[in-house]
Homo-oligomer: A and B are copies of this chain.
Amino acid sequence: MGLKGVFVKTVIGVDLGGTNIVAAVVNEKGKVLGKDKRKTMAPLGAVGVMNRIADSVRAASQASGLSWASHLAVGIGSPGPLNPKKGLIIYTPNLNWKNVRIVDFLQKNLHKKVVLENDANLAALGESWIGAGQGEKYVLCLTLGTGVGGGLILDGKIYEGAWGVSNHIGHIVVDPRGPRAPYGNSGILEQYCSATGIIRMATEAGLKPPAGQPLEAYSFQKMAEAGNKKALGVYQVAGKMLGVGLTTAIHLLNPGIVIFSGGVAGAGDLLMKPMRKELKTRCFQSHLKGLKFRMAKLGDNMGVVGAARLAWQSLPKH
């Protein structure tokens, strides 16, 4: 009797992004046993995309070679804001969804228990489970991507706040006189340390990517690495503001480890050097001493592994 005959217990983690849907079958140790990746196709609308998610879940199951019954639950990560308890996506700008009851829809479609959480919290949960934050009790995770997301893990669980909208570190104010955000706030961390922020600051500094290169943060990162002073200045400001925002988060939350993920974090010392300088100037020694800073380890699997961990935690005895 082969593996397929044994009743292996797994869950399925889903990462819903503006560009791709990824689904993975994950066992109790965090090992990925089967995976599916497909385009999100946002123009299909909420119902169309949710049907694609269900298809992706079934395809991941098939890729694992395991029986459908072996999957005990499904965890879904989505951009927020959302309400995990109600299984409700309140609003996602990149999909243009409003008040979508994704958990109800998928439970009916898949006949499995489905749980929902925002993607930044799940990145943090995944990293604290089997990644850079393994063994740590207070884990603060920053995802520096198109936007800036944050996740806080306490004792292996996501810190939820009163109604599940905590850890929005991208929206803390780092300069009250800074540029205006679409929803009325201004000078928030996301406007400096995200890809969008890097592109904005570079463009304002009169920079353009070299001919043939796309208008994305990575193009300006390469310019900075090649010594372009204006591009270096952009990363200097981004790193400084990251230091200002982290000073605030560290004084409020006293994490034991800070983990960075996302494309913009790939700029490494371009960003981290001015950040460290700012932290050293601003933070109490009592908060900074002993605090670890690490890069995320799970790479592309971070989202689905975090979603799978949430699914495991939703089951009795996990």
Contact = CB atoms under 8 A, between A and B. Distances in A.
A155 B122 CA distance: 22
A116 interface: no
A286 B165 contact: yes
B256 A163 contact: yes
Given A169-B252, A175-B175, 20 more contacts: A81-B286, A138-B161, A150-B252, A161-B253, A161-B254, A161-B255, A162-B254, A163-B290, A165-B254, A166-B253, A167-B254, A172-B247, A173-B245, A173-B247, A173-B248, A184-B282, A185-B247, A185-B282, A249-B252, A252-B252
Interface string A149-168: 01000000000111111111
Contacts of A113: none
A296 B165 CA distance: 25
A207 interface: no
User: Which of the listed residues A90, A160, A287, A291 has the most CB atoms from chain B within 10 Å of its own CB?
Assistant: A287
A284 interface: yes
A102 interface: no
A295 B186 CA distance: 28
A252 to B, nearest CB: 6
A172 B252 contact: yes
A307 B211 CA distance: 66
A137 interface: yes
Contact of A284 (B137, B165, B255): B165
Given A162-B138, A287-B165, A282 B172 contact: no
B90 A286 contact: yes
A71 interface: no
A281 interface: yes
Contacts of A166: 251-254
Contact of A81 (B91, B165, B167, B284): B284
Interface in A227-248: 240-241, 244-245, 247-248
Interface in A182-221: 183-186
Size bin of chain A's contact surface: 35 or more
Given A137-B162, A173-B247, A176-B244, A186 B282 contact: yes
Interface string A72-111: 0000000001000000001100000000000000000000
A79 to B, nearest CB: 13
Nearest to A290: B163
Contacts of A267: none
Contacts of A137: 162
B176 A281 contact: no
A287 to B, nearest CB: 5
A86 to B, nearest CB: 12
Contact of A251 (B164, B171, B240, B256): B171
9 contacts: A81-B286, A91-B286, A162-B254, A166-B254, A171-B251, A183-B284, A185-B247, A185-B282, A185-B283
A175 B176 contact: yes
A74 to B, nearest CB: 24
